[in-house]
Chains A and B, each alone.
Chain A
Amino acid sequence: KQEVTQIPAALSVPEGENLVLNCSFTDSAIYNLQWFRQDPGKGLTSLLLIQSSQREQTSGRLNASLDKSSGRSTLYIAASQPGDSATYLCAVDEGNTPLVFGKGTRLSVIA
């Protein structure tokens, strides 16, 4: 059974700092990996989707990498801003299966 782990569970950084969020999954036979953002009391917003054949995806200040063989992904946020404060969730699917989520990393960016 696929399990997704995110470390750390919470992270607090000063504004302007570059940071990395980690995600690991137990079964490397994934098809897609997605990173989501969740603001308090809100739903999830998809940030980046990486297909298993890809190594990374970039959107603005966000860069997600995927190392499928080692079962790891990272989300890099450059020049963090207070508006980046949210919970970031990682999720994987194995092709023709629904997403399996990690518990998320709660990020606080302090002005």
Chain B
Amino acid sequence: DAGVIQSPRHEVTEMGQEVTLRCKPISGHDYLFWYRQTMMRGLELLIYFNNNVPIDDSGMPEDRFSAKMPNASFSTLKIQPSEPRDSAVYFCASSIQVDTEAFFGQGTRLTVV
């Protein structure tokens, strides 16, 4: 398996534009997590899914953020409209169980100007 795959690796967009981040988890992993990393706040959990169903989205900062997992091999995190304070590195991770070893993607570095 190639590990957790995220795209794009880098995204630069103008304020107000819609941004869609993509993630392909490791095959056979039932849990998928979206994290955001900033210098100030470190790694924060945004939302996680179990078997494609969102379990906890309390970390999603605002209604501008939404996440979907239409099938076991694909998830998206969408920001609409984007704002400069959304600039961060967004990580996707997957695991077999919620509390077993988590495998992270390379991240998407988002810059909103």
Contact = CB atoms under 8 A, between A and B. Distances in A.
B104 A43 contact: yes
How many of chain A's residues touch chain B, expressed as a range? 20 to 34
A32 B91 contact: no
Interface string A83-111: 00000010101011111111110000000
A92 B105 CA distance: 19
Interface centre among B48, B99, B102 (most CB of A within 10 A): B99
A99 B102 contact: yes
A101 B102 contact: no
How many of chain B's residues touch chain A, expressed as a range? 20 to 34
Interface in B86-113: 91, 93, 98-107, 109
Interface of B is mostly: strand
Given A98-B48, A104-B42, A46 B101 contact: yes
Interface of B: 4, 33, 35, 41-43, 45, 48, 56, 91, 93, 98-107, 109
Interface of A: 31-32, 34, 36, 41-46, 49, 89, 91, 93, 95-104
Q: Which 10 residue pairs across A and B have the least CB separation, nearest first?
A: A103-B42, A43-B104, A101-B43, A44-B104, A93-B99, A43-B106, A98-B45, A46-B101, A98-B48, A43-B105
